[in-house]
Chains A and B, each alone.
Chain A
Amino acid sequence: MHKLEDNRAWFLVIPVFVLVAFNAVVPLMTVVNYSVQDIFGPGQRAFVGVEWFREMLRDPTVQSAFLRQILFSLLVLAMQIPLGVGVALLLPRSGWKSSLAIILVAIPLLVPFNVVGTIWQVYARPEIGLFGRLINATGIDYNYTASPLAAWVTLLLMDAWHWAPLVILLAFAGLCSIPEPYYQAARIDGASRAAVFRFIELPKLRGVLTIAVLLRFMDSFMIYTEPFVVTGGGPGSSTTFLSIRLVNMAVGQFDLGPAAAFSLMYFLVILLFSYVFYTIMKLNNAR
């Protein structure tokens, strides 16, 4: 759409600008302050320059948490995007069945993080949880408190349970917006189901799927509460993701300087990713 050039539009943006600046800029500056100082106690501090950054970059627990985080986010995307599109294709498009299925699908989205954790903590236990018992009944030795693999499987399933619905709803909305004549044309051409998906549905889903990938990537990259409640970062440190490591450092050990340096680098990595996604989205819109 052609837009008018008018700097008075700034007046409309000021409320958002002030609100977000208050929440983002002031705390960010506090973090920047901490990251270059060594704090011994109230009023006792020394400037240390980039020392904390250097230390954090060399810290093996931070490095492994970072790799773990990347792997987790990629697995989340690899599971949930195809699952979401697949289920969206199965959903009835109209009538009461459609409403009912959508409500059932959407419920996990509005369950608070720690409640999700509480549910799966018990649900996946090998002795008393339905899920844990079912898996063990098939002969697989499954115990998420003992085996890192089982812990990862539990967290990935839990995350799919909680967030695949978002992908489903976005994809479903995308599918509903495809006009019926597209399908009629495909039927006339004798297109197979696979061809309809590949050449009609998938291109039409690109817009919503970009949003889904973006939201799922961001939120899985910041995940904290759910793994914290279920595994506490264990067994060992096999599920200690970036936020868990960071909160341990800042609140548990009260290492404010290193934690602040860690925070800034964490934020910069996310900013980098978000810039890449944002550029891709703009290219998508331009097309």
Chain B
Amino acid sequence: MTAIQTFVPAAAELTRPKRTATRARIFSATLLGLFLLFQALPIYWIVRMSLMTPNNVLTRPDFLPVEPTLDNYRTIFTDPSWYMSYVHQISYVALNTVISLAVALPAAYAFSRYRFLGDKHVFFWLFSNRMAPPAVFLLPFFQLYSAVGLFDTPWAVALAHTLFVVPLAVWILEGFMSGIPREIDETALVDGFSLPRFFVTVFMPMIASGIGVTAFFCFMFSWIELLLARTLTSVDARPIVVTMTRTASTSGMDWGLLAAAGVLTILPGIAVIWFVRNYIAKGFALGRV
């Protein structure tokens, strides 16, 4: 009976015209291609805009760039208020990622390994902050960071962004850590490792892909945020996303320049994706499959 059951589909496989399988493959490749086109065309459009003068952007619908020029990029790389804002943004995003990982790693370890007074409540409270709409906190944040003297520094934005980045980081890391059996910790501690040393030299390498993916999420949510970054900076720490909005309001819309700045904000993202591309298959399940 079992022999027949295993035989039947195999036979069906053999007799089914090979064309059907090929056609299905072509069909799914076409669908995927269409989706990738949907993803790629807007990117192409901003690259195209960045190579044109503002006047051409607003009047010419051509598919290819009209009278292509690198002037927009030249402006950005020669004007300190532009290129320094790029540096500001990278510095607060990097700060944010480092701070978030530094505080989230021990906390995630605690949540994954121990039960302690109020653990579930603290976890939910952390998590609820991921849902706090930035719009709610604009004014209080401005007052708070002005009061402690951090307004208009990269630290203000980096710390403010931890509000919604850290809860996610703790949550993701907790998932990965819970996938590692506790026997490993116990063995290491019996072998004479101190907890910090065990954590850094043994445990962290074991969840490396988890840390990579967490860093990716920290970077991503901090890099793309505008509202808090705009509220907490004015001149000295102004990031490029904010410089873009200021330019738009003072001298009319210089779409070519805006597009060039936009293209430059996409490049670090591509670099980051390049680094995590091999973790995606494993890491993005966030230890929760």
On A, residues with C-beta under 8 Å from B are 1-10, 12-13, 15-17, 19-20, 22-24, 26-28, 30-31, 34, 86-87, 90-91, 93, 98-99, 101-115, 118-120, 122-123, 127-131, 133, 161, 165, 169-170, 172-174, 176-177, 187-190, 204, 207-208, 211, 218, 221-222, 224-225, 242-243, 246-247, 250-251, 256, 259, 263-264, 266-267, 270-271, 273-275, 278, 285
Contact = CB atoms under 8 A, between A and B. Distances in A.
Contacts of A10: 110, 116-117
A5 B115 contact: yes
Given A110-B224, A119-B262, A224 B6 contact: no
Given A128-B61, A187-B9, A224-B133, 15 more contacts: A4-B113, A13-B107, A15-B102, A20-B163, A24-B132, A24-B163, A27-B141, A31-B140, A107-B273, A110-B219, A110-B269, A112-B262, A113-B241, A176-B282, A204-B289
A182 to B, nearest CB: 12
Interface centre among B40, B58, B144, B284 (most CB of A within 10 A): B284
Interface residues of B, number: 106
B140 A30 contact: yes
Interface in B202-239: 219-220, 223-227
Interface string B254-273: 01001101100110111011
Contacts of B167: 20
Interface string B94-127: 0000010011101101111111110100101011
10 contacts: A2-B182, A5-B115, A90-B35, A112-B262, A113-B226, A115-B241, A119-B42, A208-B289, A222-B131, A278-B127
A218 B129 CA distance: 11
Contacts of A108: 39, 42-43
Nearest to B139: A250
B200 interface: no
B224 A113 contact: yes
Interface in B44-72: 45-46, 49, 57-61, 63
Given A27-B137, A112-B224, A16 B245 contact: no
The 7 A-B pairs of least Cβ separation, nearest first, read A110-B269, A27-B140, A173-B284, A190-B9, A9-B114, A12-B110, A30-B140
B230 to A, nearest CB: 9
B5 to A, nearest CB: 8
B154 interface: no
A11 to B, nearest CB: 8
A182 B129 CA distance: 39
Contacts of B45: 119, 122-123, 129-130
B223 A110 contact: yes
B1 interface: no
B88 interface: no
A4 B241 contact: no
Contacts of A267: 131-133, 136
A270 to B, nearest CB: 4
Nearest to B142: A27
B280 A130 contact: no
B170 A114 contact: no
B107 A246 contact: no
B262 A19 contact: no
A265 to B, nearest CB: 10
Contacts of B241: 112-115
Contacts of B40: 104
B188 interface: no
